[in-house]
Amino acid sequence: MDSHPEWRLLPRDLLTKIGEKLPIPHRACFRATCKDWCSAVLPVVIPSPWLLLVGRNSDTCTFLSIPAKRTFTYSLLPELHGVQYVGSHAGWLAVLYRNLDVSLINPLRATRICLPSYRTLPNFELLDGSCAHPPLNQFSYYSVTKVIFAANPTPHNYTAVTLYGIPRGEITYAKAGGDRWNLLQTTSTRNRSYEDVMYHDGKFYCITFEAEVFAFDLSGVSPTVTVVAESPSLGLTHFDYHTPLSRITSIHSKYLACSSTGELFLILRQVLLSYESLGWKAIMVWRYNPHRQPCWEAVNNLGNTSLLVGINNSISFSAENSPGERRDCVYFTEAPVRTIVDGREELNHSIVVYDVEQGRWAPANSPLQPHLLPPIWFTPSIS
Amino acid sequence: MSEGTKEPDGGEEKVVLKTHDGQEFTVDMATANQSGTLKNLLSEVGSSSNNPQVIPLPSSITSRVLGKVVEYCQRHAAGGGRRGGMQALEQFDEELVELDKDMLLDVTYAAAFLDVPRLLDLTSQAVADAIKNMSVEEVRHYFGVVSDFTEEEEKVIRSECPWAFE
């Protein structure tokens, strides 16, 4: 062959063509190859975090980049058809299938790690995917609240915790090499009901209905636990407003979140929100301070970061790299908000943004519509 | 002359594609018309079964490469109405571009030169699929491309999308 074409000499229009066939995030690697390849493909500036907008029976996966205020769409991986999204952490999504199989999937790398099926859960009578309102102590497709897992999972090295069961929240864990889910409890944590789980710095932080916080270490043969915060038996004070424990237990959803500098936050949110009552003390935030009793200190700023909570490992998002983006806010994705539409009451999952500094609701900067299914925070990674 | 026209003697119009390495491919007009380049050319010069037009091709399109392109064009000239419908056609397309990287490049060039848009789509997609899970270093190695960025320039590109390089 006297004039064999070479890849490095590909004409511009062919390079553009190939570049455009790449999923958007992968175009960055294409552009970084050499100057010709760089100029052939438009820049990729899609800052993290993204919001995965969940549609029903859709063939595509739509993401919204919060800092870029731009949506973009991928064709859906076959593994993501008809799934329920139950978790998200550092580039990976946890997904649940109707047959109670569960996987971790990196949608950008198209890689998948199968976790043990929920059919291996102990002490639970299992129901199939058809039962939307499972009786107590029965496990169905709809029982899973969220799955939290350690970052950088591989088939040979993963640790995951599932929070499930309504209204009683149980926690269960699975590790690489195991073939089943095990109840996560130690002698000092029996008979607890849990509301939120967060992974941070090698430990799973779990908060109970009574606002106790435990840190479980699952790296050893059996779990070990540290008490991070005891239940505030006298309630919690948020500046001039006191909430007794009975109200904390009954009318507030509890969230744990962590800033990029490792500070732990407790967020209380009224379980059911309506725009008429959106306001005073519907959301309160405390910072962990082990030197105080109770160890939660009310805060009215988040140190220029915002906290993103929902069906994900909580994310701390610095406004520094995203000019114009709100700071000192908490973003909720799965807060049920009651609205009146044509005289009828409707419950939707709106993105609710709460400005901690101002102590009030902030309009979302992005085109965030109410959704029937809550969207999921996602921080892209192809590592 | 338009696609599918029969000549008075009943023979179908043909055209001969001749590669640089001396091989000749005789194809019917419906097949040739899958290529925008050939269609334009033949609409000017015409061809017949008794005296088919011979079209010489550039040296980059070897007989092996042209074989692939002709295979594609013949199958698509027949359309989805034959041999199992659209699904079979899609499967044919998928299998056609299961090629090593040099052959993939040659077929991409040929599809671009002969202006066969859907084949070009297929090969571009196959190239994109091949490199989509690679790091920058792997992409460079795979294609034998050497970076001509300064360290500073590369840093700027990478900062566009830092999580892609974690």
The three-state secondary structure class of A334 is: strand
In this prediction, residue A45 carries a pLDDT of: 67
Chain A residues touching B20 at Cβ < 8 A: 2
Q: Which residue in A has a C-alpha nearest to residue B137's C-alpha? A: A33
Contacts of B108 in chain A (CB under 8 A): 14
Taking the domains of chain A in order of start, what are their residue ranges? 12-45, 232-383
pLDDT at A318: 83
- Are B77 and B115 found together in one domain? yes
Between A83 and B12, whose confidence is greater?
A83
Check residue A308 and give its pLDDT: 94
Determine the distance in angstroms separating the CA of B96 from the nearest CA of chain A, rounded to an integer.
18
Query: Do B20 and B52 share a domain, yes or no?
Result: yes
Q: By mean pLDDT, which of A128-142, A367-381, B12-26 is the weakest?
A: A128-142
Clarify whether residues B26 and B73 are in a common domain.
Answer: yes
Which pLDDT band holds residue B10 (cuts at 50, 70, 90)? very low
Chain B partners within 8 Å of A6 (Cβ): 105, 144
Nearest chain B residue (CA) to A27: B132
Q: What is the pLDDT of residues B47-70, one digit of tens each?
A: 666 678 899 999 889 999 999 999
Instruction: Please report residues of A whose CB lies closer than 8 A to that of B112.
Output: 11, 13-14
Q: What distance in Å separates the CA atoms of residue A250 and residue A240, rounded to the nearest whole number? A: 21
Tokens at residue A373, please? 């299914």
What's the rounded Cα separation, in Å, for the pair B40 and B57?
A: 15
Classify residue B153: in a domain, yes or no. yes
User: Would the CB atoms of A382 and B164 count as touching at under 8 Å?
Assistant: yes
Residue type, A117: S
Cβ of A7 within 8 Å of Cβ of B143? The answer is yes
A–B CB contacts, 8 A cutoff, strictly below: 120
- Pairing relationship of beta strands A125-126 and A138-139 according to DSSP bridges: parallel
Helix, coil or strand: residue A196: strand
Q: Is the dihedral of CA A125, A128, A130, A132 positive or negative?
A: positive
Q: Search chain A and give the residue with CA nearest B115.
A: A14
Interface contact B145-A13, CB threshold 8 A: no
Q: Does residue B110 share a domain with residue B34?
A: yes
Q: Is residue B82 left, alpha or beta, with left meaning phi > 0 and alpha meaning psi from -120 to 50?
A: beta
- Give the residue from A176, A169, A177, A112 showing the smallest Cα distance to A150: A176
Summarised one tens digit per residue, pLDDT across range B114-141 is 999 999 999 999 999 998 888 889 989 8
CB contact under 8 A, B132 and A5: no
pLDDT higher at B8 or A121: A121
Determine, yes or no, domain membership for B83: yes
The answer to whether the Cβ–Cβ distance between B163 and A29 falls below 8 Å is no
Q: What is the pLDDT of residues A76-112, one digit of tens each?
A: 777 888 889 999 999 999 999 988 999 999 987 778 9
Q: What is the CATH number of the domain that holds B66?
A: 3.30.710.10
**Are B113 and B160 contained in the same domain?**
no
Q: Which residue in B has a C-alpha nearest to residue A7's C-alpha?
A: B143
- Which residues have C-beta within 8 Å of that of residue A135, sequence separation ≥ 6? none
Asked if residue B39 lies in contact with residue B53, where contact means CB atoms within 8 angstroms, the answer is no
Torsion angle, alpha carbons of B59, B62, B65, B66, to 10: 90
Pairwise pLDDT comparison (A71 vs B16), residue with the higher score: B16
Cβ-contact A163, A102 below 8 angstroms: no
Query: Between β-strands A203-208 and A213-217, what pairing exists: parallel, antiparallel or unpaired?
Result: antiparallel
Instruction: Tell me the residue range of the domain where B165 lies.
Output: 133-166
SS3 A209: coil
Q: What ranges in chain B are assigned the alpha helix state H?
A: 29-32, 36-45, 63-78, 85-96, 101-113, 117-131, 136-143, 151-159
Q: Are residues B127 and B58 in the same domain?
A: yes
Residue B5 lies in a domain: no
User: Do B35 and B81 belong to one domain?
Assistant: yes
Closest residue in chain B to residue A379, using alpha carbons only: B163
- The nearest CA of chain A is from the CA of B93 a distance in Å of 16
Mean pLDDT of chain A: 85
**pLDDT for position A383:** 61
Residue with tokens 């205020």: A69
End-to-end CA separation in angstroms for chain A? 39
Return the structure tokens found at A192: 């607890």
Contact B134 A44 (CB under 8 A): no
Test A21 with B124 for CB contact under 8 angstroms.
yes
Q: Do B144 and A48 touch (CB under 8 A)?
A: no
- How much of chain A, in percent, has pLDDT values that exceed 70? 86
Residue B27 tokens read as 């194809």
Is the same domain home to B24 and B86? yes
Higher model confidence: residue A194 or residue A71? A194
* Smallest CA–CA distance from B152 into chain A, residue: A32
Interface of B with A (CB under 8 A): 20, 59-60, 62, 101-102, 105-106, 108-109, 112, 120-121, 124-125, 127-129, 131-136, 139-140, 143-149, 153-154, 157-158, 160-161, 163-166
In a domain, B1, yes or no: no
Residues of B in contact with A110 (CB under 8 A): 133
Asked whether residue B91 is assigned to any structural domain, the reply reads yes
A6·B144 Cβ contact <8 A: yes
> How many domains is chain B partitioned into structurally?
2
SS (H, E, C) A46-81: CCCCEEEECCCCCCEEEEEECCCCEEEEEECCHHHC
Residues B160 and B114 in one domain: no
pLDDT over 90 percentage in chain B: 49
Q: How far apart are CA A236 and CA A245, in angstroms?
A: 7
**Burial class (CB within 10 angstroms; exposed 0-12, middle 13-18, buried 19+) of A8:** middle
Q: Which residues of B touch A5 (CB under 8 A)?
A: 60, 105-106, 109
Quick one: closest CA in B to A380, which residue?
B163
Q: Contact at 8 Å (CB) between A46 and A65?
A: yes
pTM: 0.75
User: Are B146 and B85 members of one domain?
Assistant: no
- Residue B138 sits in the same domain as residue B164: yes
